[in-house]
């Protein structure tokens, strides 16, 4: 009888111990990541170029380099990203002592989901809204010899601007490389580095007419940020593991 009671008590304590261990059954992984990117954008300049050629000027290029900085927050496989990107200027000579340039910037916010999430590789599609502001600049390069001539010589500088929102859809794949924690880092948090490629397409509805000093001009050309892009991105991040107790 005593052996039976002792065995029952032992089994009870064992079950209690197993139950305590099983409370830590689910962990939530969060990632905070910052990326810097350099890329290529092909954008539709047909309306602007048609207007330039009708005005006796040379067309602008349609291929642009970009620089970007983004911050991404992951909760398990879901992600939220904010990004700022520069469209670097392209210059075209427009006769003697004159050129034109096109450039701008974008600010975007998007969401995504990691279809593949492995210790050394991640792949996720994303969708977002991009707010863009671009300008076509005409520069007068007439040389001057002194300050009086600079102040008294009429110059023909002007800039027309285009801005609107666009839809951004794409996919990013990246290699994840674990970094060694320092002795002061929390052991639950793991630092890592990423190297990846981002492929996407930006599309903006309608044709946004040019504005000068905030006023829409008559017979002005239109422009919408539209076209494919590719970016090479490098990032640094921290994986934060949080346990859920049940």
pLDDT in tens, 52-108: 999 899 999 999 999 999 999 999 889 999 999 999 999 999 988 889 999 999 999
Domain that holds residue 117: 27-244
Q: Which two tokens stand for residue 95?
A: 């006769």
Q: What percent of the chain clears pLDDT 70, i.e. is strictly above it?
A: 83
pLDDT for 188 equals 64
Assigned domain for 7 exists: no
pLDDT for 206 equals 76
Number of structural domains the chain divides into: 1
pLDDT for 241 equals 67
Phi, psi of 9 (to 5 degrees): -65, -40
Quick one: pLDDT band at residue 18, thresholds 50, 70, 90?
A: very low
Assigned domain for 11 exists: no
Assigned domain for 175 exists: yes
Assigned domain for 109 exists: yes
Q: Is the pLDDT of residue 15 over 50?
A: no
pLDDT for 171 equals 97
pLDDT for 187 equals 58
pLDDT for 84 equals 97
- Give 217 or 193, the one with higher predicted confidence: 193
pLDDT for 5 equals 44
Q: Measure the CA–CA gap between 202 and 110, rounded to whole angstroms.
A: 13
Tell me, what DSSP letter sits at residue 217?
A: P
- Look up the CATH number of the domain holding residue 53: 2.40.160.20
Q: Is the pLDDT of residue 31 over 70?
A: yes
Instruction: Give Cα separations from 3 to 6, 8, 9, 10, 14 (angstroms).
Output: 5, 9, 10, 10, 16
Return all residues near 85 (Cβ < 8 A) that are at least 6 apart.
37, 66, 67, 68, 69, 105, 106, 107, 108
Assigned domain for 81 exists: yes
Least confident of 9-23, 63-77, 150-164: 9-23
pLDDT in tens, 162-183: 999 999 999 999 999 988 766 6
Assigned domain for 5 exists: no
Q: Is the pLDDT of residue 121 over 50?
A: yes
pLDDT for 2 equals 47
pLDDT for 14 equals 44
Quick one: pLDDT band at residue 147, thresholds 50, 70, 90?
A: confident
Quick one: pLDDT band at residue 191, thresholds 50, 70, 90?
A: confident
pLDDT in tens, 205-218: 877 888 888 888 88
How far from chain centre, in Å, is Cα 35?
8
């Amino acid at each position: 009888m005593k052996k039976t009671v002792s065995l029952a008590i032992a089994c009870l304590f064992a079950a209690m111990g197993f139950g305590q261990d099983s409370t830590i059954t689910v962990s939530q992984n969060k990632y905070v990541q910052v990326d810097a990117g350099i890329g290529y954008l092909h954008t539709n300049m047909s309306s602007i170029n048609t207007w330039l050629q009708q005005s006796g000027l040379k067309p602008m290029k349609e291929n642009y380099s970009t620089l970007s900085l983004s911050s991404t927050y992951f909760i398990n496989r879901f992600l939220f990203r904010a990004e700022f990107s520069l469209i670097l200027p392209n210059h075209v000579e427009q006769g003697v002592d004159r050129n034109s340039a096109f450039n701008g910037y974008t600010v975007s916010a998007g969401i995504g989901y990691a279809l593949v999430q492995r210790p050394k590789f991640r792949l996720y599609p994303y969708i977002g809204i991009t707010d863009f502001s671009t300008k076509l600049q005409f520069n007068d390069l007439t040389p001057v010899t002194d300050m009086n001539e600079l102040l008294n010589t009429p110059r023909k500088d002007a800039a027309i601007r285009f801005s609107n929102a666009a839809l951004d859809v794409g996919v990013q794949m990246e290699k994840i490389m674990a970094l060694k924690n320092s002795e002061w880092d929390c052991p639950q948090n793991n630092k890592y580095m990423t190297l990846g490629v981002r492929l996407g397409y930006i599309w903006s509805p309608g044709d946004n007419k040019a504005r000068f000093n905030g006023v829409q001009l008559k017979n002005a050309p239109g422009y919408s940020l539209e076209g494919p892009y590719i970016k090479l991105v490098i990032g640094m991040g921290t994986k934060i593991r949080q346990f859920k107790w049940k």
